[in-house]
Each structure stands twice: as structure tokens, then as C-alpha cells.
């Protein structure tokens, strides 16, 4: 399929490139490092070869979210957004941007989002999970009350918020002790990010701001598969002894406030499950380059056993509508 739009596509700056090194062996790191730092050369050639017309580009992970010093987080986010805007300006026909946001300081993040959207022309934000704040062992999740004014601004600006994975805090990794292969993209990224998304839902965030849109990668970080069970046990009809503020069934929030992308999860059965649970209009093509091969994503998607109308919707038209491209 030609003219696809992809929206979990990463770059890095000099400040953040080191964050991605632990995910690669020493032999491949020089290649991946160069791919993360490049927008105009190899990336464009690959987009051409893969039928990707537009990439919506975002910073690598965890980057801004792992700078416990809020002033540093603010500075790195601003500089990354400025650098990305400069790169986009060279090829506005091929690139758009997601803002990195210093949510260590909710007010600064609100201002930076407004600047990124209104001055830099970005189409939303991509945030790498919880923010370490004050100390590296303190995590803040965005269902907390101090983030409500921030979410109000996201809704007012009418831009999607991409909740992207990062590792759980070091102190929270007991379940994987002795099994380091469970960390990162193999499992813990999805558990961490899916849990964060459920916190947002359960907190009543989408009842307060019903027009909010959150995007999840990797075909929904396990949520679409488990949504009936989560909905069932989280419902307020007496099964949930804790009680939760959310007013509707969780499956309704998934269908009304969430989109999922195919980033780094090239499995037709899982995509079809997400299409049926959420509606095809809420599924979007992405690759997760350079953490995944753009060619593998495109080759899989272009041949996946779905109808041609659905392919056009997921590959391009849903994103065009969501991001007003």
C-alpha cells in the first residue's frame, strides 16, 4: 500500500541518545544510533521503499520522563522539540511531530504542549509513561489530581496524547528478578503502559474530559485482549470492593477515548482482535522504527489478511482524520 502514515517513529537528540543504548548489542548499536539521529537520509529512503508518505516523529524512551530534575526535564524537552521542528521544516511533506513533555512539572508541560502545537505546528504529544520526579525512585502517574489542568489543555487543544512504554521503576521489578528477558519490549513495557492506561480510565479522567484521545502502541499494550475481564471486574455493580470513580464500562472508554497502533506488533490475529473490539476506525498503522525494521512492518501490513477498505483506513485514512492531515 502506498501513502501510508506511521506515527510511532522515533528519533533521539544528543541529550537522549544514550537512553536507547541498553536495548541493543554492542555490534548493532552504532547502526541503531545513526538511525535514531537521522531524519533526512536513511529514514526517508526507507519510507520511500516502504510506501510511508508521512512519519509522525517522537523522541526515544524514556528520555524526558527519566530526568528527575524538573528544570533539566524542561530544558531537554524544549530543545528536543525545537530540533524536531527544524527537521520537519526541511521536509514538511514527509514529517510531522509529537511533542516531548516535562510532566515532572505539570504547568511547564502544559505550556510546552501549547507552544509545540500552536507555535511549532506539532500534531500531539508522545510521553514515555510515568515521570520520575524529585528522585529517581519517585514515579508520578498522570491520573493524579495535579495533572487535571494539563489534561484540560490537551482536550482544549484537541490533540492526541500518545502514551508510550518505558520500564517500571527499578524498585518495582521483583516479578522479573532473575529473568531479565521479561524486561523491556518482551513483556514489561506492555504491562507498565497498559496499567497506566487503566489508571487513567479508572480515575474518571475521561468522564471529566470526554473528548480526550489517548493513543497506545503495540496493538494496545494487552488491553484489547483482556478488556472484557477488566471491564467485568472493575464494574461498579458490587464485584469491585474498592470502588472506582469511572462511570462507564471500561470497554466503552476503549472505544470512545483510545486509538491503538500496530507499532512493534506485526500480528494479523492481534490486529483483527483490536479492529473488532475497538472498531477499525481506531486502529492505526505504525512501525516503531528504528526499534523495529520499517520494512518488516510494511511488508506484513501490506499483505495482512484484512479487507482493502480496512487496509486503507488503518494505513492512512484514520490517521489523516485524527491528525487533520
Q: Which residues bind ligand GRE (CB under 6 A)?
A: 10, 20, 23, 60-61, 184-185, 264, 288, 291
**102-121 residues near Zn ion, rule: CB under 5 A:** none
Each residue 232-271 as x (binds Zn ion by CB under 5 A) or -, in order, gives ----------------------------------------
Nearest distance from C-beta of residue 267 to ligand GRE, angstroms: 15
Query: Residue 112: which of ligand GRE, Zn ion, none does it interact with, CB under 5 to 8 A by kind?
Result: none
Contacts of 261 (CB under 8 A, 6+ apart): 7, 8, 215, 216, 217, 218, 219, 283, 284, 285, 286
Query: Residue 143: which of ligand GRE, Zn ion, none does it interact with, CB under 5 to 8 A by kind?
Result: none
Residue choice 288, 297, 298, 315 for contact with Zn ion (CB under 5 A) = 288
Q: Active-site positions?
A: 288
Query: Residue 221: which of Zn ion, ligand GRE, none does it interact with, CB under 5 to 8 A by kind?
Result: none
> To 5 degrees, how large is the angle CA 127–CA 262–CA 173?
55
CB 57 within 8 A of CB 84: yes
DSSP state string for 148-187: HHHHHHHHHHT--EEE---PPPGGG-GGGTT-GGGSGGGT
Burial of 273 (0-12, 13-18, 19+ CB in 10 A): middle
For residues 83 and 262, which CB has a smaller minimum distance to Zn ion in the complex? 262
Nearest distance from C-beta of residue 20 to ligand GRE, angstroms: 6
Q: Taking phi first (over 0 means left), then psi (-120 to 50 degrees means alpha), and beta for anything else, what does residue 237 get?
A: alpha
Query: Residue 279: which of ligand GRE, Zn ion, none does it interact with, CB under 5 to 8 A by kind?
Result: none
Binding stretches for Zn ion (CB under 5 A):
8, 288
Amino acid at each position: 500500500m502506498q501513502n501510508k502514515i506511521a506515527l510511532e517513529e522515533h528519533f533521539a537528540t544528543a541529550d537522549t541518545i544514550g537512553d536507547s543504548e541498553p536495548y541493543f548489542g554492542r555490534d548493532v548499536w552504532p547502526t541503531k544510533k545513526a538511525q535514531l539521529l537521522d531524519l533526512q537520509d536513511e529514514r526517508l529512503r526507507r519510507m520511500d521503499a516502504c510506501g510511508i508518505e508521512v512519519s509522525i516523529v517522537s523522541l526515544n524512551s524514556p528520555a524526558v520522563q527519566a530526568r528527575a530534575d524538573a528544570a533539566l526535564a524542561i530544558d531537554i524537552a524544549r530543545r528536543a522539540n525545537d530540533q524536531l521542528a527544524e527537521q520537519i521544516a526541511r521536509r514538511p511533506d514527509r514529517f510531522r511531530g509529537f511533542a516531548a513533555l516535562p510532566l515532572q512539572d505539570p504547568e511547564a508541560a502544559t505550556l510546552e504542549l501549547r507552544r509545540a502545537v500552536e507555535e511549532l505546528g506539532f500534531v500531539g504529544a508522545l510521553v514515555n509513561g510515568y515521570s520520575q520526579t524529585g528522585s529517581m525512585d519517585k514515579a508520578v502517574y498522570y491520573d493524579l489530581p495535579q495533572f487535571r489542568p494539563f489534561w484540560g489543555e490537551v482536550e482544549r487543544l484537541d490533540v492526541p496524547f500518545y502514551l508510550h512504554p518505558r520500564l517500571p521503576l527499578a524498585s518495582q521489578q521483583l516479578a522479573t528478578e532473575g529473568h531479565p528477558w521479561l524486561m523491556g519490549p518482551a513483556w514489561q513495557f506492555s504491562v507498565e503502559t497498559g496499567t497506566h492506561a487503566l489508571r487513567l480510565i479508572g480515575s474518571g479522567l475521561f468522564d471529566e474530559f470526554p473528548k480526550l484521545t489517548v493513543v497506545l502502541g503495540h496493538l494496545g499494550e494487552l488491553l484489547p485482549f483482556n478488556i472484557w475481564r477488566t471491564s467485568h471486574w472493575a464494574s461498579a455493580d458490587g464485584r469491585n470492593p474498592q470502588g472506582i470513580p469511572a462511570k462507564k464500562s471500561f470497554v466503552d472508554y476503549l472505544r470512545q477515548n483510545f486509538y491503538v497502533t500496530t507499532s512493534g506488533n506485526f500480528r494479523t490475529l492481534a490486529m483483527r482482535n483490536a479492529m473488532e473490539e475497538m472498531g477499525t476506525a481506531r486502529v492505526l498503522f505504525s512501525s516503531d522504527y528504528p526499534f523495529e525494521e520499517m520494512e518488516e512492518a510494511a511488508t506484513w501490513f501490506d499483505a495482512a489478511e484484512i479487507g482493502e477498505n480496512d487496509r486503507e483506513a488503518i494505513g492512512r485514512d484514520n490517521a489523516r482524520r485524527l491528525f487533520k492531515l
